[in-house]
Chains A and B, each alone.
Chain A
Amino acid sequence: MNKPDNHNANLQIDNLSMTFSLPDGSTVEALKNVSLNLQQGELLSVLGPSGCGKTTLLNIVAGFLAPSEGQVVLNQHPVNGPDAERGMVFQQGALFEWMNVRKNIAFGPTMKGLPEKQINQHVDELLETVGLHGFGNKHIYELSGGMQQRVALARCLANDPDVILMDEPLGALDALTREKMQSLILKLWKETGKTIILITHSVEEALLLGERLLVMAPRPGRIHKEYHLPFAQLGVDADLREVKKHPDFSKIREEILSMIWEMEEEIMGKAI
């Protein structure tokens, strides 16, 4: 599955394993021998049944967790902890509600100590980009869930990271808002050319957004299958609803759905 051209790879995930020990003495293999290479500008979506280690994988890449084995290498240097080069978008609740929208977006550059004028200009641009023009002085709690996620995206982009990591970024949104946000993510991806890893529970979302799609399997958490898909490229310019009418779309969706169903059934069987 690995691409042979490892050398100019942007993000390199090498043979990661993660074993948690539980208080009762037993252990959980959240990840086992996961390897993956991402080129600059690739958008990878990750699917898998609950508990297959998606969040664990993302947290290791973000630098919040140190793997039991293996390593993550970004631009030839190993990842040892969180850094502004790897931005994170959380499902919800990670915005700073004691700051208004502007200050949230400006957080990264402010921490770096960039000149205020430059920050302000950048924030204005980003507000425009994510469609929040005129909302800069609102408080976070005055915004809807969809708007909050736009702020989260803008805050991440303000730092100009090399890689953007998203853990179910649209999971808390309603279906319609979600569709709009999916278009926005595609637009931002194309405009900024960022490398993106996006975890989702929605097969449709994974298909629409993932240029590459990873299906993971649980116990131990591992890569089950990888797809290379055309839908993300199509969706950049087209209506996502049109993309869904693509003849391959429903075929692959059904294939992945039954794959995940099988895994879930297997887990249930094991549990019983």
Chain B
Amino acid sequence: MLILIIYITLFILAYFIYTILARQLKSKQKNSSRKTITFGDESTVTPNRVASVISIAVLFIIWAAFTGSKLLPLHVPGPFIGSTSFSYTAINAQNQTDKATVYIRVEPVGNKTKKPEVPEQQTGFAKDDAIKVGAWRSGLVRVQNNDDGGKEKNYRIIAINDQPITAKQSIAVTNGIVNMTPKGSLSFTPDKGWQMEPVWLPAPETVIERFIEIAANGYQNITLWENIGWSLLRVLAGFILGCIVGIPLGYAMGLNNWFRGWFDPIVEFMRPIPPLALIPLVIIWFGIWETGKISLLFLAALWIMIIAARAGVSGVSISKVHAAYSLGASKFQVLMHVIVPNSLPEIFTGARVALGVCWGTVVAAELVAAEKGAGKMIIAASKFQQTDVVIMGIILIGVIGYSIDILMRRAENFLVPWKGKA
């Protein structure tokens, strides 16, 4: 919630700063467009690249600020680290009261330091205590254990820092909260601050370090490239099989009544089923190993490619087909020289969608079971709570998915330059 408010504030702030700066620069710029109507004219809306850059920067800044990153000088308040203390008042079986102090040291989890020192000289039946608490954790302190008569039946703690307390109550003290358990023991929870615990969200530099480390040494004896390579290989195998079967089938459905009638119900039924829903069946039929995964990806790509090829055929304008026949082309020549090239833009669009779906599906399938793969890497890391590896993997999966799409777009521009220009 807090993060959302900060995000929206930054969005608005960046917009105003940009507008003010842009206005001052504008007098020097050329007017690229003389259009007076821009609101509602979609063609005038182009992504503002400055906004894109700031957007990415803001995401990283928020991430860094809320994780206490070393890359950023400014952070939101972190958890309390250091020494603090509070006092408690106890009453013993003899109805006497006495006061003692609890000394606390709060350290990042895993730091091996000793408990704070307790003064040697102790008067009264309540004795001072010392505990060590990990940041973001809480620590139980059984103050009665070293108190004289602490085990006796009527011994009770009645106040913290002179404020009365009973079971299940909490009292705020410096740098934390003291809580009384239902059984009358005390627990201390240091202030958490606003930052995220590394187990929840590690700082960006941790993720980068982890990336460099895994890129060099691999993860669980499997190199990063092997993991990614296996995922890509599966996608490629499934996608190519899907194309080999799907494209001719789509053409047949676009060209022949019987094929159209026969496969229409199957395609229309299978199309809305998300490939992930097929995982259980695929496991039963093929097992989850390579055959299963590639079958799954094949199915994911198949329907998309069939529909793309079919749409490609129906997108051929009849006058082109007529023209080709009038120029003496045979049916086969019309197919090869008119229908196929004319459907390429549609097929490319389908291929882009199919590759995207396959990439998502392969990661999901690897989450279920795999020996190697991008999905396997992050699910294995999550079992050990290695959030940095998980986040690194997720970012990598996103980057690769995006790269595939860009690559396909490049290929499309190169191979079907006439797209959208007819």
Give residues in A with beta carbon < 8 Å to B: 62-64, 81-84, 86-88, 90-91, 93-99, 107-108, 111-112, 139-141, 155-156, 159
A141 surroundings in chain B (CB, below 8 A): 418, 421-422
Would you call B416 an interface residue if the criterion is a C-beta within 8 Å of the partner chain's C-beta atoms?
yes
A64 and B325 alpha carbons, distance in the complex (Å): 9
Would you call B110 an interface residue if the criterion is a C-beta within 8 Å of the partner chain's C-beta atoms?
no
Cβ-defined contact, B319 with A90, below 8 A: yes
B422 surroundings in chain A (CB, below 8 A): 93, 97, 141
A98 surroundings in chain B (CB, below 8 A): 341-342, 344, 416, 418
Given A81-B325, A83-B328, A93-B422, 11 more A-B residue pairs with CB atoms under 8 Å apart are A62-B322, A84-B328, A88-B322, A90-B323, A94-B317, A94-B322, A94-B323, A96-B320, A97-B418, A108-B327, A156-B326
Majority-rule SS of A interface residues: loop
- Shortest C-beta distance, B40 to chain A (Å), equals 29
Would you call B337 an interface residue if the criterion is a C-beta within 8 Å of the partner chain's C-beta atoms?
yes
A94 surroundings in chain B (CB, below 8 A): 317, 319-320, 322-323
Give residues in B with beta carbon < 8 Å to A: 317, 319-320, 322-330, 333, 337-338, 341-342, 344, 416-418, 421-422
A-B contact pairs, 17 of them (CB 8 A): A64-B325, A82-B322, A84-B326, A90-B323, A91-B319, A93-B320, A94-B323, A96-B320, A96-B342, A99-B341, A107-B327, A107-B329, A111-B330, A111-B337, A156-B327, A159-B327, A159-B328
Cβ-defined contact, A87 with B317, below 8 A: no
A139 and B422 alpha carbons, distance in the complex (Å): 11
Cβ-defined contact, B327 with A96, below 8 A: no
Cβ-defined contact, B418 with A139, below 8 A: yes
- Shortest C-beta distance, A146 to chain B (Å), equals 17
Cβ-defined contact, B333 with A111, below 8 A: yes
A96 surroundings in chain B (CB, below 8 A): 320, 324, 337-338, 341-342
A270 and B155 alpha carbons, distance in the complex (Å): 109
| Chain A residue nearest to B417 in the complex (CB) | A139
Majority-rule SS of B interface residues: helix
A63 and B321 alpha carbons, distance in the complex (Å): 13
Nearest 9 pairs between A and B by C-beta? A84-B328, A141-B421, A82-B325, A108-B327, A98-B341, A94-B319, A97-B418, A88-B326, A94-B323
- Shortest C-beta distance, A159 to chain B (Å), equals 6
B322 surroundings in chain A (CB, below 8 A): 62, 64, 82, 88, 90, 94
A94 and B329 alpha carbons, distance in the complex (Å): 14
- Shortest C-beta distance, B323 to chain A (Å), equals 4
A82 surroundings in chain B (CB, below 8 A): 322, 325-326
| Chain A residue nearest to B338 in the complex (CB) | A96
A82 and B326 alpha carbons, distance in the complex (Å): 5
- Shortest C-beta distance, A87 to chain B (Å), equals 6
A86 and B325 alpha carbons, distance in the complex (Å): 10
A99 surroundings in chain B (CB, below 8 A): 341
Cβ-defined contact, A112 with B328, below 8 A: yes
- Shortest C-beta distance, B418 to chain A (Å), equals 4
| Chain B residue nearest to A97 in the complex (CB) | B418
A145 and B421 alpha carbons, distance in the complex (Å): 13
A129 and B415 alpha carbons, distance in the complex (Å): 31
A112 surroundings in chain B (CB, below 8 A): 328
A91 and B319 alpha carbons, distance in the complex (Å): 9
Using known A-B contacts A82-B326, A111-B327, A155-B327, determine if residue A93 contacts B317 with beta carbons closer than 8 Å. yes
Cβ-defined contact, A87 with B418, below 8 A: no
B320 surroundings in chain A (CB, below 8 A): 93-96
B317 surroundings in chain A (CB, below 8 A): 93-94
B421 surroundings in chain A (CB, below 8 A): 97, 141
A97 surroundings in chain B (CB, below 8 A): 418, 421-422
| Chain A residue nearest to B418 in the complex (CB) | A97
Cβ-defined contact, B327 with A140, below 8 A: no
- Shortest C-beta distance, B342 to chain A (Å), equals 7
A239 and B317 alpha carbons, distance in the complex (Å): 37
